[in-house]
Amino acid sequence: MRGALLTLALLVAAPACAADRLFVNGSFVTLEASLPRASAMLVREGRIAALGESAVLRAAASEQTQVIDLQGRTVIPGLVDSHIHAIRAGLSYATEVHWTGASTIAEAMQRLRDAASGLPPGGWLIVAGGWTELQFSERRRPTQEEVEAAAPDHRLYIQHLYSGALLSKSAVQALDLPNNGALLAQLKTERESGELTGWFSGETEAITALFDLLPRPSLAQQVEGTKAFFRTLNSLGMTGVMDPGGYNLPLDAYGAVQQLARADQLTLRVTYSLSAPAPGGELADFDHLTKDLPMGAGEGLLRFNGIGENVTWGMYNNDKPTPADQTALERVLQMAAQRRLSVTFHWMNDRSVSKLLDVLESVNAKTSLAELRWSIAHLHDASLPSLERMKKLGLGWLFQNALYFRGGAFVRQRGEEVARASPPIVSAINMGLKVAAGTDAHRVMSFHPFVALQWMLDGRSVDGQRTRDAREIPSREEALAAYTLGSAWFAHAEHERGSLAVGKLADFAVLSDDYLNVPVERIGALRALMTVVGGRVVHTAAPFEAVGE
């Protein structure tokens, strides 16, 4: 597999670039202090050649330049999710049913019916996550009876975050769950009035093991799913993703994105990390995998960005690591620091993050981390002292909108005072900490960036409950910068993308409404009418369908 990863990183061809294009009559939000706004932009050979007034740039255009009238639309730098499991999501996207945005159980059931109509009887219908009962007006999960009525001739698996799954009776039998004592011992079989409900709950590892029993898509389905998922992200103005790997992303799962990269069929920039393949041998595995894989290796739209988010298994999802766990992590990090690799860490709770920071400070005492752009992801309840320790080390913070789905539960668990400052976005920005925004999609959250941006700007959960108060609400430009320039910095690409400036890559999105002025409650409904990656048009919608690649 090591050879395949090297091929993935080193042999990707650069994308073809279109002829000169001049975009006029737009409202360009550049995120550049020297020219915050412009009405026109010239794109040449995949890069921004000029920004300014429409009349001036139109007069300077050649006869060969294609002129595109944006009709007053707002243009922003391409969005980059700094922490999204895009590679894993793409593998099964073509064989799943998606409940993202469904506002009622009836709508969710209709999506099952629609999918069932195109599938032979006996096939699987899988909802792999990305939804919560709070998005439904009924404020409850669907029942086994409801999903079976929607698709009576199919096997059904409905995963709820990483906490539970609903299976139809036929799915339970097909997976032979009654005879899987080892897995059932890790799961709680839910009952109501003594009767089985079809719902199983358990810890993350148990739900993952349950999902892994499902039929695996073929490589062809994985490739098509990845293409479809990336096109969906393009339709939301996304031009890049940062994929953190994950404990449940094996090395052979990179095959689909590798195939697309070789064929120059990627439609967004993929910056990926490698996670530890197995517990116990992390140092040897990373030594083997990264010896000939330097930071930034690759061409075109696929690049290697270090290791994470599961660096060592003993320090992953573990609030009480032992000294031996910390020592094992320190050894891996010393190697990563010496090789100048970036590292990203999955850490959920401020109460225990000192265990991680202690290790990082020990590594920093031997090899400075200041220039390596290491990051901690999640940490929704980060305290100011923890953020200060991170800043002193040169670390950054990747925050996600997990509390959009789980804000109410967070308030009940941690109290209103903690929730009002969680996550402390403005405090982190004001102290000069490097930050970037994302979603952690698609199992635990929707992948919609504008839903995440709306949550950043109003602090409300999916059911309308306000959690974060005004002191931690950023400005619209600060929120946008966290989704663009912030992500670009962690990808070592802030000089190439993240803002609209002459010489930078032409990565941008033309929006359906004015992000800076539309009422905040409508930001989540924004979409891209055109998305451009390196000068190549990868998505269009009315009135721009005629604009070719």
For residue 164, give the nearest of 100, 207, 213, 109 by alpha carbon: 207
7: pLDDT strictly greater than 70: no
The residues near 391 (Cβ < 8 Å, ≥ 6 apart) are 431, 432, 433
Task: Please tell me the distance from the alpha carbon of residue 516 to that of residue 76, in angstroms, as a whole number.
Answer: 10
Q: What is the pLDDT of residues 86-96, one digit of tens each?
A: 999 999 999 99
pLDDT score of 507? 98
What is the mean predicted confidence (pLDDT) over 31-55? 97
Give 107's contacts (C-beta < 8 A, 6+ positions apart). none
Q: How confident is the model at residue 549 (pLDDT cuts 50, 70, 90)?
A: confident
Residues 499, 484 contacting (CB under 8 angstroms): yes
pLDDT tens-digit map of 316-337: 999 999 999 999 999 999 999 9
Percent helix, percent strand, percent coil in the chain, to nearest 5: 35, 20, 40
Residue 40 clears pLDDT 80, i.e. is over it: yes
User: What is the band of 19 on the pLDDT scale with cuts at 50, 70, 90?
Assistant: low
Radius of gyration of the chain (CA): 23
| Three-state secondary-structure class, residue 265 | coil
d(CA 83, CA 243): 6
Indicate the DSSP class of residue 191: E
Write out the two tokens for 517: 């002025």
* CA distances from residue 261 to 4, 79, 244, 264, 269 in whole angstroms, order as listed: 12, 20, 18, 5, 10
Is the predicted pLDDT of residue 360 greater than 70, yes or no? yes
Name the band, by pLDDT with cuts 50, 70 and 90, for residue 299: confident
Look at residue 18 and tell me whether its pLDDT is greater than 80. no
